[in-house]
C-alpha cells in the first residue's frame, strides 16, 4: 500500500502567535524580529507584509524602508516554544508516527488512517481545524507518498492551505517546479544546474545519473531520486537523547577565570534543566575547550553516582577546567559542558542525604519557574555576571535557527 505522509507547517509562525494573542494585529503588516532602528533581522513577516518584499533573514532596517508603516514586534521565545509544544501535542493525538522537524513543522505518517477519518484529506482538515480552534494558528498541510513531495505540497499550498498529491502523480506534480524547490538545492547547486540547462525539477532526470554524480557526488543520486518523486525516508519519531550539552564561543578569547566559571555555570544549568526535564540521570560529565589556535580538547569524568543536579555538573566541570587550564597557557575561544551515559528516572529519595535533597528540591523549583517564565527568570549567583553577555532570554530565537534539535 502506498504510504500517506503529511507535512504540517504553521504559517508565519511567530507573527501568527502574536496575532493570536492580540487579534487587532490580524490582517495587518506585522514583522517579528525587533524594532526597525535596532540591528538584527526579520524572523517572520505576515503574508500582507511579504507583498512589500519583506522576508525572513532580511535586516530590520531594510524591511522598514520597504514598508515603513509595518508594525515591528520584538517577539519573545517562550511564547513560541509554548505554542510549538501544544502544536506537537495536537499532532501526536492524530498519529504516534510524528517527527518534529522544527518548532512549527512536522511530518506525520498517517498510512492506513483513512478509515478512522473518512479520508486522509478529511483527517488533514480536522487537524487544521483543531490547531485553529485550540491555538488560533493557521497551518498548511501537504499530503503525499513521501516526505519531499509532502513538504513541497505544503509549501505551495500556503497560507492556510491543504494540498494532496495522489499516489502515482508525484513526478508530474514536481516536473514544472523550479529546481530550488527540492530540499538541499541552494543557490550554488541551482547555479550549476542552470549552467547545465536544467531549470525545472522535470528536467533533472533527463540528465544521466553519472553526470549528476560527477557534479554533486552522492547528492546527485539523491537529487535524481527526489526529482522523480521517489523518497522512501521514514517518518522517524525523535529518539531519546544519548547526551546533552551546551557550548558557547566567546566574542573575544579569554583566560579570565571568573568569567570562564560563570559561563560554565550558566551552560551547566541549561544542561541540568534539560536533564531533569527528560527525567534522566547522568553518569559522565564532559568539558570541552577550544583554544585560540582552534585546538579542541574534551575532558571527561565519570561520577561515582549518577546525578541530575546542577551543582554536581558544575563542580565536575570546574574540576576539569582547572586541570585543563593548568596544562595549557593559551586563551580560550569556546567552552562547553555536557553529560552522557544517561539513565532513566530520578533517584530514590532515601539514597540522598539531606543537603542533596534540598538541592534537588531547589532544582525542581527553579525548573518550574523557568518553564513558566523563560530561562532568564532566575539566575543564580555566578550567572548574574553573564547578564551583559546574554541580555536576551538566553533562548535560541536570536540565533535564527528554529529547531528542536540539540
Greatest C-alpha distance within the chain: 73
Residue in 78, 91, 99, 104 binding ligand DCP, rule: CB under 6 A: 104
Under rule CB under 6 A, residue 56 binds ligand DCP: yes
Q: Which is nearer to ligand DCP, 87 or 397 (CB)?
A: 397
Residues 147-206, interacting with ligand DCP (CB under 6 A)? 158-159
Q: Which does 173 bind (CB under 5 to 8 A by kind): ligand DCP, Ca ion, none?
A: none
Q: How many C-beta atoms surround the C-beta of residue 159 within 10 A?
A: 15
Region of 3-11, 163-171, 201-209, 272-280 interacting with ligand DCP (CB under 6 A):
3-11
Residue in 174, 172, 222, 224 with CA at minimum distance from that of residue 200: 174
3-class secondary-structure state, position 221? helix
Q: Which of 4, 6, 13, 161 binds ligand DCP (CB under 6 A)?
A: 13
19 and 25 Cβ atoms separated by less than 8 Å: yes
Residue 397 binding ligand DCP, by CB under 6 A: yes
CB of 9 to Ca ion, least distance (A): 4
Which C-beta is closer to ligand DCP: that of 51 or that of 255? 51
**Residue 293 CB neighbours (<10 A):** 9
> How near is the Cβ of 323 to ligand DCP at its closest, in Å?
39
Is residue 9 at the binding interface for Ca ion, with CB under 5 A as the rule?
A: yes
State the Cα–Cα distance between residues 289 and 260, nearest whole angstrom.
Answer: 10
Pairwise CA distance, residues 106 & 128, whole Å: 13
Confirm or reject binding of residue 400 to ligand DCP (CB under 6 A): yes
Q: Which does 310 bind (CB under 5 to 8 A by kind): ligand DCP, Ca ion, none?
A: none
Catalytic option among 99, 105, 164, 274: 105
10 contributes a contact to ligand DCP by CB under 6 A = yes
Give the integer Cα–Cα distance in Å for 324 and 68.
53
The partner residues of 106 in beta bridges, in order of sequence, read: 8, 100
Of the pair 104, 308, the CB lying nearest Ca ion is at 104
Using the rule CB under 6 A, give the single segment among 288-296, 310-318, 378-386, 394-402 that binds ligand DCP: 394-402
Among residues 5, 31, 43, 212, the one that binds ligand DCP under rule CB under 6 A: 43
SS (H, E, C) 157-178: HCCCCEEECCCCCHHHHHCCCE
To the query of whether residue 105 is one of the catalytic residues in this protein, the response is yes
Judged by CB under 5 A, the stretch of 5-13, 153-161, 209-217, 248-256 that binds Ca ion is 5-13
Output the smallest distance, CB 307 to ligand DCP, in A. Answer: 35
Decide: 367 and 270 in contact? Cβ < 8 Å. no
- Which of 268, 6, 309 is closest to 140 using CA atoms? 6
| Residue 118 Cβ vs Ca ion, minimum distance, rounded to whole Å | 27
Residue 218 CB contacts under 8 Å (≥ 6 apart), including other chains: none
Burial class (CB in 10 A: 0-12, 13-18, 19+), 327: exposed
Here the contacts of 357-362 (C-beta below 8 Å, separation 24 or greater) are 359/309, 359/311, 360/309
Near Ca ion in 64-123, by CB under 5 A: 104
Interaction between residue 397 and Ca ion (CB under 5 A): no
- Is residue 44 a contact residue for ligand DCP (CB under 6 A)? yes
Q: Which residues bind Ca ion (CB under 5 A)?
A: 9-10, 13, 104
Footprint of ligand DCP (CB under 6 A): 9-14, 43-44, 56-57, 104-105, 158-159, 397, 400, 402
Annotated catalytic sites, by residue? 105
Amino acid at each position: 500500500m502506498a504510504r500517506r505522509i503529511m507535512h504540517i507547517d504553521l504559517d508565519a509562525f511567530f507573527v501568527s502567535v502574536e496575532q493570536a494573542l492580540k487579534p487587532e494585529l490580524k490582517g495587518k503588516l506585522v514583522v517579528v524580529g525587533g524594532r526597525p532602528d535596532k540591528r538584527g533581522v526579520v524572523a517572520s513577516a505576515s503574508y500582507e507584509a511579504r507583498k512589500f518584499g519583506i522576508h525572513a533573514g532580511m535586516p530590520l532596517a531594510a524591511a522598514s524602508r520597504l514598508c515603513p508603516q509595518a508594525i515591528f514586534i520584538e517577539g519573545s521565545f517562550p511564547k513560541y516554544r509554548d505554542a510549538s509544544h501544544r502544536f506537537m501535542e495536537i499532532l501526536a493525538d492524530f498519529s504516534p508516527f510524528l517527527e518534529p522537524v522544527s518548532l512549527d513543522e512536522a511530518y506525520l505518517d498517517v498510512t492506513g488512517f483513512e478509515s478512522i477519518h473518512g479520508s486522509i484529506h478529511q483527517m488533514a482538515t480536522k487537524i487544521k481545524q483543531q490547531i485553529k480552534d485550540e491555538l488560533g494558528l493557521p497551518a498548511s498541510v501537504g499530503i503525499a507518498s513521501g516526505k519531499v513531495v509532502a513538504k513541497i505540497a505544503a509549501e505551495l499550498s500556503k497560507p492556510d492551505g491543504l494540498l494532496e498529491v495522489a499516489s502515482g502523480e508525484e513526478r508530474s506534480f514536481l516536473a514544472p517546479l523550479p529546481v530550488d524547490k527540492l530540499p538541499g538545492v541552494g543557490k550554488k547547486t541551482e547555479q550549476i544546474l542552470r549552467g547545465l540547462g536544467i531549470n525545472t525539477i522535470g528536467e533533472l532526470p533527463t540528465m544521466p545519473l553519472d553526470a549528476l554524480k560527477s557534479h554533486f557526488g552522492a547528492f546527485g543520486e539523491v537529487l535524481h531520486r527526489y526529482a522523480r518523486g521517489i523518497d522512501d525516508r521514514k517518518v522517524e519519531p525523535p529518539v531519546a537523547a544519548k547526551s546533552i550539552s551546551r557550548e558557547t564561543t566567546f566574542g573575544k578569547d579569554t583566560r579570565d577565570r571568573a568569567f570562564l566559571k560563570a559561563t560554565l555555570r550558566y551552560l551547566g544549568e541549561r544542561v541540568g534543566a534539560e536533564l531533569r526535564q527528560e527525567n534522566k540521570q547522568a553518569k559522565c560529565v564532559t568539558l570541552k575547550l577550544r583554544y585560540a589556535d582552534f585546538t579542541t580538547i574534551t575532558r571527561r569524568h565519570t561520577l561515582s553516582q549518577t546525578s541530575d543536579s546542577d551543582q554536581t555538573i558544575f563542580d565536575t566541570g570546574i574540576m576539569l577546567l582547572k586541570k585543563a587550564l593548568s596544562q595549557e597557557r593559551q586563551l580560550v575561544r569556546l567552552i562547553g559542558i555536557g553529560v552522557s551515559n544517561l539513565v532513566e528516572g530520578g533517584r530514590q529519595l532515601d539514597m540522598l542525604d539531606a543537603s542533596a535533597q534540598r538541592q534537588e528540591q531547589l532544582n525542581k523549583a527553579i525548573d518550574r519557574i523557568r518553564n513558566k517564565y523563560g530561562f532568564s527568570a532566575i539566575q543564580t549567583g555566578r550567572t548574574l555576571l553573564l547578564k551583559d553577555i546574554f541580555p536576551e532570554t538566553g533562548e535560541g530565537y536570536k540565533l535564527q535557527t528554529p529547531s528542536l534539535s540539540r
